[in-house]
C-alpha cells in the first residue's frame, strides 16, 4: 500500500477504505491507496494548525524563492508529469504537456505575487492618525480539487495559498491521487514541517476537511458537491470559495468568420473529451448562417483523431471511466427522445477502450430539454438555431450557469455588445471558452460559483484577511 498521505510532516497510508486510481485508456490500476479516516483528517488539520505560524512568519522573499524552486523542479519534470497526466486521467499528451507548462508559469507568477503590495494608506478624515490597511494570511486553509486538471487546478490554488503565508491541507480527487501525491512531493521537503498536508480520499474525506473549521476552503468541482461544502463551511464561519460547473455557450453571428468559428468551437467542445468546466456545450447559431456552419462543423466532428492519448497525433482520448460513458450515453438517448437529431457520434467506442465515447453533435435541440440545460461533462455539443442577434443573446444567457461564453463575429458593435452582455465571468470574442488566464480573475457567477473569484490578484483577497490600522499622530 503506497504512502500517499502527508500528515503532520510524515508520509503515511490511511486507515480507511481502499481506493484505486486507474488508467482510463487501459483500465490498469496505477495506484491503490487507503483514504484517511475522520480521526486522521482531524489529526491532519491539527498538524496544519501547528505548521501555520512558522510559515506565516517566513519572509515573503523566502516564500517566493521556494515557489520558484518548485517551478524549476516541475519544469525539469515536464515529460514525467505529462506522461503521468496522460496515464491517470487520459488527457491527450499535447494538452497534458500544456497543463504542465502552464502550471510552471502559475508558480512563477504567484512567487512574485508574494512580494506584491498588501494594503493601502487612507486619508484620515480628521487628519489625526495614520490610517492604513494591511493583509495577513488566513491561517490554515483547505483545498478540495477535481481530477480534470489534476496539476493546474491544484497549483493555481496551492501557489497563492502558500505565497500569501498559509498552511495548506490538500484534498485531491481520487481519480487524480497519483499526480497529486507526486506534485506535493515537489514542495514538501522545501517547506517547514506541517505547512503542507495531503489528505487523500473521496467525498467523505472532502466533507471532513470542509467541516474541520479551517480558516478557508477553496473548492473546485461540481455544483452539487460545492453547495454541500458551502453549507458545511457556513456552520463554522470558514471563508469559502466554490468554483463549480458550467453550461457554456458559443454564439455564431452572421458576420462571423465561419472557418475560424468551426475550428475554435471544435476545440472548445472536444478538448479533453469535453471534460472541462469551461467546455462549450451549446452553440447558438443565427439562422442565416446555420446551414453552412452546421455542415462544416459536422464534417470537422467526423475528422477528429480519436485514439490513445499517449500518441502525439491524438486529438481525442477516453472519458475518465466507463461509468462516465454510461452517463453520457444516457444524456444522448434522452436528447433524442426529446427530438434532437444526432449529426455525429452519439455512441460509445468499445473498440478504442471501455471509456471511449464518440465526439457527438446534436442538432434541433429543444432549449428547455435536459441536454440544453444540464452540465454533461462529456463530448456532447448541442446546436440551437435562433432568429436574430437579440434571440442569440437571450438563448446564450438562458442558463443557470455563468462560467464562460464566446461570440464569433467581425462586427465591432456585436463584439462590444455581446462582450459586455453575455452573462459569464469569462467572455471571449472569436476565442474558445476554455483556457483561463492565470493572471486574471475567474468565476464565480450564478450557479457556477460562490464567494470570491480566484487566480490573478483576486487570489490575494481570498487567501488573506485585511486589517484596518489607525495610528494616532496627534
DSSP notation for 312-378: TT-SB---S-HHHHHHHHHHHHHHHHTT-EEEE--SB-TTT-TT-B--EEEES--TTSHHHHS---S
Strand stretches in 98-223, DSSP E: 121-122, 129-137, 140-144, 167-171, 196-198, 216-220
- Least separation in angstroms between residue 347's CB and ligand NAD is 23
Would you count residue 422 as binding ligand NAD (CB under 6 A)? no
User: Residue 390 and residue 287: Cα distance in Å, rounded?
Assistant: 12
Q: Which stretch binds ligand NAD (CB under 6 A): 74-82, 168-176, 181-189, 458-466?
A: 168-176
Which of 173/361 has CB closer to ligand NAD? 173
- Least separation in angstroms between residue 279's CB and ligand NAD is 8
Do 27 and 323 touch, CB atoms closer than 8 A? no
Q: Is residue 352 among the annotated active site residues?
A: no
Helix (H) or strand (E) holding 158: helix 152-163
Which residues share a beta bridge with 426?
A: 404
Residue 192: burial class (beta carbons within 10 Å; 0-12, 13-18, 19+): middle
- Least separation in angstroms between residue 15's CB and ligand NAD is 18
Q: Which stretch binds ligand NAD (CB under 6 A): 23-31, 145-153, 384-392, 421-429?
A: 145-153
Q: Which stretch binds ligand NAD (CB under 6 A): 37-45, 205-213, 251-259, 336-344?
A: 205-213
Angle at 80 between CA 354 and CA 358, to 5 degrees: 25
Would you count residue 206 as binding ligand NAD (CB under 6 A)? yes
Q: Which stretch binds ligand NAD (CB under 6 A): 10-18, 104-112, 215-223, 295-303?
A: 215-223
> How far, CA to CA in Å, does 328 sit from each of 331, 333, 391, 419?
5, 9, 28, 31
Would you count residue 244 as binding ligand NAD (CB under 6 A)? yes
Which of 232/283 has CB closer to ligand NAD? 232
Would you count residue 221 as binding ligand NAD (CB under 6 A)? yes
Q: Which stretch binds ligand NAD (CB under 6 A): 38-46, 89-97, 171-179, 417-425?
A: 171-179
Angle at 278 between CA 140 and CA 206, to 5 degrees: 30
Selected binder of ligand NAD within 202, 254, 354, 435 (CB under 6 A): 202
Would you count residue 141 as binding ligand NAD (CB under 6 A)? no
Residue identified by cell 490511511 is: 14
- Least separation in angstroms between residue 38's CB and ligand NAD is 13
Do 418 and 251 touch, CB atoms closer than 8 A? yes
- Least separation in angstroms between residue 226's CB and ligand NAD is 7
Would you count residue 277 as binding ligand NAD (CB under 6 A)? yes
- Least separation in angstroms between residue 240's CB and ligand NAD is 12
- Least separation in angstroms between residue 471's CB and ligand NAD is 40
| CA 401 to mean position of chain CA atoms | 15
Which of 289/406 has CB closer to ligand NAD? 406
442 secondary structure, DSSP code: B
CB atoms near residue 3 (< 10 Å): 14
Would you count residue 318 as binding ligand NAD (CB under 6 A)? no
Do 253 and 386 touch, CB atoms closer than 8 A? no
Choose among 400, 363, 369, 342: nearest CA to 284: 363
Query: What torsion, rounded to 10 degrees, do the Cα atoms 79, 82, 88, 94 define?
Result: -140
Quote the cell numbers at residue 32.
Answer: 491503490
Would you count residue 229 as binding ligand NAD (CB under 6 A)? yes
Helix (H, G, I), strand (E, B) or coil at 311: coil
Helix (H, G, I), strand (E, B) or coil at 30: strand
User: Residue 147 and residue 276: Cα distance in Å, rounded?
Assistant: 10
Selected binder of ligand NAD within 225, 268, 349, 396 (CB under 6 A): 225
Would you count residue 145 as binding ligand NAD (CB under 6 A)? yes
Q: Which residue out of 99, 277, 409, 454 is catalytically annotated? A: 277
Would you count residue 222 as binding ligand NAD (CB under 6 A)? yes
Q: Is residue 277 among the annotated active site residues?
A: yes
- Least separation in angstroms between residue 269's CB and ligand NAD is 14
Q: Which residue out of 243, 286, 375, 454 is catalytically annotated? A: 243
Site for ligand NAD in 349-408 (CB under 6 A): 375, 377, 403
Selected binder of ligand NAD within 165, 246, 345, 441 (CB under 6 A): 246
Q: Which stretch binds ligand NAD (CB under 6 A): 29-37, 167-175, 350-358, 419-427?
A: 167-175
Would you count residue 144 as binding ligand NAD (CB under 6 A)? yes
In the bound complex, which residue of the shown chain has the CB atom lying closest to ligand NAD?
Answer: 206
Please state at what angle helix 93-113 crosses helix 60-76, rounded to 10 degrees: 160
Selected binder of ligand NAD within 64, 106, 177, 207 (CB under 6 A): 207
Which of 23/211 has CB closer to ligand NAD? 211
Do 57 and 136 touch, CB atoms closer than 8 A? no
- Least separation in angstroms between residue 217's CB and ligand NAD is 9
Which residues does the annotation mark as catalytic?
Answer: 243, 277
List residues binding ligand NAD (CB under 6 A): 144-148, 171-173, 202-203, 206-207, 210, 220-222, 225, 228-229, 243-246, 277, 375, 377, 403, 443, 448
Amino acid at each position: 500500500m503506497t504512502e500517499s498521505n502527508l500528515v503532520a510532516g510524515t508520509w503515511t497510508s490511511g486507515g480507511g477504505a481502499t481506493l484505486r486510481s486507474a488508467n482510463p485508456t487501459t483500465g490498469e490500476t496505477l495506484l491503490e491507496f487507503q483514504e484517511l479516516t475522520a480521526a486522521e483528517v482531524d489529526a491532519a488539520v491539527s498538524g496544519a494548525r501547528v505548521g501555520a505560524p512558522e510559515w506565516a512568519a517566513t519572509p515573503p522573499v523566502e516564500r517566493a524563492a521556494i515557489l520558484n524552486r518548485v517551478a524549476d523542479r516541475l519544469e525539469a519534470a515536464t515529460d514525467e508529469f505529462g506522461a503521468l497526466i496522460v496515464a491517470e486521467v487520459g488527457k491527450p499528451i499535447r494538452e497534458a504537456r500544456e497543463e504542465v507548462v502552464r502550471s510552471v508559469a502559475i508558480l512563477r507568477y504567484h512567487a512574485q505575487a508574494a512580494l506584491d503590495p498588501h494594503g493601502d494608506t487612507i486619508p484620515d478624515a480628521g487628519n489625526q492618525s495614520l490610517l492604513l490597511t494591511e493583509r495577513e494570511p488566513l491561517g490554515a486553509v483547505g483545498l478540495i480539487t477535481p481530477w480534470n486538471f489534476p496539476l493546474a487546478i491544484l497549483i493555481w490554488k496551492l501557489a497563492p495559498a502558500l505565497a500569501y503565508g498559509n498552511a495548506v491541507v490538500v484534498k485531491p480527487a481520487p481519480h487524480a491521487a497519483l499526480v497529486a501525491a507526486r506534485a506535493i512531493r515537489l514542495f514538501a521537503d522545501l517547506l517547514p514541517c506541517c505547512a503542507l498536508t495531503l489528505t487523500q480520499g473521496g467525498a467523505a474525506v472532502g466533507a471532513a476537511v470542509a467541516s474541520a473549521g479551517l480558516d478557508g476552503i477553496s473548492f473546485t468541482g461540481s455544483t452539487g458537491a460545492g453547495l454541500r461544502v458551502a453549507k458545511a463551511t457556513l456552520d463554522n464561519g470558514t471563508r469559502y470559495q466554490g468554483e463549480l460547473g458550467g453550461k457554456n455557450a458559443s454564439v455564431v453571428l452572421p458576420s462571423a468568420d465561419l472557418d475560424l468559428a468551426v475550428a475554435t468551437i471544435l476545440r472548445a467542445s472536444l478538448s479533453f473529451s469535453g471534460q472541462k468546466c469551461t467546455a462549450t456545450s451549446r452553440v447558438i447559431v443565427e439562422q442565416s448562417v446555420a446551414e453552412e456552419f452546421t455542415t462544416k462543423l459536422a464534417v470537422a466532428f467526423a475528422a477528429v483523431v480519436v485514439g490513445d492519448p499517449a500518441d502525439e497525433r491524438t486529438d481525442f482520448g477516453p472519458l475518465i471511466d466507463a461509468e462516465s460513458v454510461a452517463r453520457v450515453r444516457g444524456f444522448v438517448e434522452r436528447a433524442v427522445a426529446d427530438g434532437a437529431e444526432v449529426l455525429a457520434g452519439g455512441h460509445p467506442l468499445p473498440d478504442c477502450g471501455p471509456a471511449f465515447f464518440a465526439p457527438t453533435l446534436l442538432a434541433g435541440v429543444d432549449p428547455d430539454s435536459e441536454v440544453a440545460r444540464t452540465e454533461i461533462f462529456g463530448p456532447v455539443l448541442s446546436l440551437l438555431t435562433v432568429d436574430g442577434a437579440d434571440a442569440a443573446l437571450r438563448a446564450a444567457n438562458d442558463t443557470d450557469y455563468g462560467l464562460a461564453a464566446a461570440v464569433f463575429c467581425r462586427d465591432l458593435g456585436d463584439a462590444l455588445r455581446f462582450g459586455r452582455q453575455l452573462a459569464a465571468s469569462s467572455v471571449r470574442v472569436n476565442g474558445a471558452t476554455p483556457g483561463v488566464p492565470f493572471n486574471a480573475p475567474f468565476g464565480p457567477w450564478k450557479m457556477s460559483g460562490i464567494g470570491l473569484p480566484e487566480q490573478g490578484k483576486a487570489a490575494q483577497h481570498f487567501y488573506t484577511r485585511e486589517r484596518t490600522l489607525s495610528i494616532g499622530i496627534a
